[in-house]
Amino acid sequence: MTLSTTIGPALRRAAAAACLLLCATAAHAQSAPYKFDGGVSLGMSGYIGDANSANIFAKPGFDGELTFRYIGDARWAVRGLFSTFGLKGDTSGMTDVLPDGASYSFTSQVYELSARGEFNFFPYGIGETYKRLRRWTPYIAVGFGCAMASSGGNTSVTPVIPMAFGLKFKLSERWNLGVEFSMTKTFSDHIDGADLADLNRIETTFYKNTDWFSRLTVGITYEFGKRCETCHYVD
């Protein structure tokens, strides 16, 4: 037996196994019948920073969001999000006080544009029970974006890192209901309209002592852009 006669069948078996694996991956990727969804979310927003260091939703604001999602398959998606929401804070009643007993309160309007990657814990969808799709799934998301905050005549623009946990439920083949809680790290200490670290006479840096905001929302989306049902690839 020569080396070529030994390797030849092994290569053919490996190629066949790779082909089967690719076919299985493609079949899994096609488990989502639609490529996109879009919708709206409403909820409340909260702030953590120099003017509120404890209860996130101590002074809740209103949050409205527009969302667009590319559905890669039953597990993965990429989501774009534009949102606007209000933030409020007040140093009165806080354990940490400003020098000379001063107090500070603010109201800020924030606009955020971000992109996120989403991972579903379960294959998400309706029908095709042999693929073990589930009508509901928890998910996690992380991404990046930019936020602009306006408060007291001051405007601040900062990069942000949103992190979210949520739950999706299919109302029908195309309609989805979702609940999401997110925390977003900013790289600015001016979301609250002022650098309160300066009021405390404490030096701050780009990555330390920065503000956070959070949102709790309920949303609805509609799927569209039906994938080819007879193709052997994901378009």
State pLDDT tens for residues 78-117: 999 999 999 987 777 655 555 555 667 778 999 999 999 9
Least confident stretch, 18-27, 53-62, 139-148, 191-200? 18-27
Domain membership flag for residue 74: yes
In this predicted structure, the answer to whether residue 52 has a pLDDT above a threshold of 60 is: yes
pLDDT for position 31: 61
Task: Report the first-to-last Cα separation within the chain, whole angstroms.
Answer: 46
In this predicted structure, the answer to whether residue 198 has a pLDDT above a threshold of 60 is: no
Domain membership flag for residue 10: no
Could you tell me which of 152, 5, 4, 37 has the C-alpha nearest to residue 89?
A: 152
Range of the domain at 71: 31-226
Helix (H), strand (E) at residue 128 = none
pLDDT for position 22: 40
80 and 90 Cβ atoms separated by less than 8 Å: no
Domain membership flag for residue 16: no
pLDDT for position 105: 75
Could you tell me which of 140, 130, 121, 117 has the C-alpha nearest to residue 28?
A: 130
The larger pLDDT score, comparing residue 183 to residue 7, is at 183
Q: For the chain, how many structural domains are there in total?
A: 1
Q: How many residues does the chain have?
A: 235
Domain membership flag for residue 60: yes
CATH number at 35 reads 2.40.160.20
CA–CA separation, 174 vs 185, rounded Å?
A: 33
pLDDT for position 89: 79
CA–CA separation, 93 vs 176, rounded Å?
A: 42
Within 10 angstroms of residue 102's Cβ, the number of other Cβ atoms is 10
pLDDT for position 152: 77
Cα-flanking dihedrals φ and ψ of residue 75, to 5°?
Answer: -110, -35
Domain membership flag for residue 2: no
167 and 179 Cβ atoms separated by less than 8 Å: yes
- Taking CA 44 as the corner, what is the angle to CA 43 and CA 50, rounded to the nearest 5 degrees? 155
The larger pLDDT score, comparing residue 173 to residue 29, is at 173
Domain membership flag for residue 24: no
Could you tell me which of 182, 181, 169, 144 has the C-alpha nearest to residue 221?
A: 169
Domain membership flag for residue 19: no
* Integer CA distances (angstroms), 174 to 38, 85, 98, 129, 226, in order: 11, 28, 53, 17, 10
Domain membership flag for residue 54: yes
Confidence of residue 134 (pLDDT cuts 50, 70, 90): very high
For 152-176, write each residue's pLDDT tens digit.
788 889 999 999 999 999 999 999 9
Let me know if 182 is exposed, middle or buried by CB neighbors in 10 A (0-12, 13-18, 19+). buried
